[in-house]
Amino acid sequence: MSESDSSPKIQTTIETGDEASRDAPLDARDTVIETRDLNVYYGDEQALDGVSMEIFEHDVTALIGPSGCGKSTFLRCINRMNDMIEVCRVEGDVEFGGKNVYDDDVDPVALRRKIGIVFQKPNPFPKSIRDNVAYGLKIQGYEGDVDERVEESLKAAALWDEVKDQLDSSGLDLSGGQQQRLCIARAIAPDPEVILMDEPTSALDPVAASKIEDLIDDLAEEYTVIIVTHNMQQAARISDRTAVFLTGGRLVEYDDTTKIFEDPEEQRVEDYITGKFG
**With contacts defined by CB under 6 A, how many residues of the chain interact with ligand ATP?**
12
The answer to whether 232 and 246 have CB atoms below 8 angstroms apart is no
Q: How far apart are CA 9 and CA 99, in angstroms?
A: 10
How is the chain split among helix, strand and coil, in percent rounded to 5?
35, 25, 40
- Asked if 68 interacts with ligand ATP (CB under 6 A), we say yes
Stretch that binds ligand ATP, among 6-14, 18-26, 65-73, 235-243 (CB under 6 A): 65-73
Helix axes 176-188, 129-139, angle to 10 degrees: 20
CB of 231 to ligand ATP, least distance (A): 11
- Per CB under 6 A, 72 contacts ligand ATP: yes
Q: Among 70, 122, 124, 264, which residue interacts with ligand ATP (rule: CB under 6 A)? A: 70
Distance CA 128, CA 218 (A): 25
Using CB under 6 A, pick the residue from 73, 132, 178, 239 that binds ligand ATP: 73
Q: Is 80 in the site for ligand ATP (CB under 6 A)?
A: no
- Name the residue nearer to ligand ATP (CB basis): 4 or 85: 85
Q: Residue 230 carries which side chain, given as an amino acid letter?
A: H
Sheet order of strands, 88-96 included: 45-56, 31-42, 88-96, 99-100
Kindly state whether residue 234 participates in binding ligand ATP, applying the rule CB under 6 A.
no
3-state secondary structure of 186: helix
Amino acid at 181: R
Q: From the CB of 65, what's the least distance to ligand ATP, in Å?
A: 6
Answer yes or no: are the C-beta atoms of 270 and 264 closer than 8 Å: yes
- Measuring CA to CA, which residue among 52, 34, 81, 71 is closest to residue 231? 71
The verdict on 53 binding ligand ATP (CB under 6 A) reads no
| 26 vs 259: CA distance, rounded Å | 12
Minimum CB–partner distance for residue 261 and ligand ATP (Å): 19
Nearest residue to 114 (alpha-carbon basis) of 222, 7, 11: 11
Write down the least CB distance from residue 57 to ligand ATP, Å.
24
* 58 vs 241, beta carbon nearer ligand ATP: 241
What amino acid occupies position 78? I
Helix (H) or strand (E) holding 270: helix 267-273
Residue 251 CB, nearest approach to ligand ATP (Å): 12
- Binding letters toward ligand ATP, positions 81-120, x by CB under 6 A: ----x-x---------------------------------
Least separation in angstroms between residue 230's CB and ligand ATP is: 6
* CB nearer to ligand ATP: pick between 68 and 98: 68
Q: Which stretch binds ligand ATP (CB under 6 A): 23-31, 66-74, 170-178, 259-267?
A: 66-74
Binder among 32, 47, 197, 244 for ligand ATP (CB under 6 A): 47
> d(Cα 217, Cα 223) in Å, to the nearest integer?
10
Give the footprint of ligand ATP on this chain (CB under 6 A): 42, 47, 65, 67-73, 85, 87
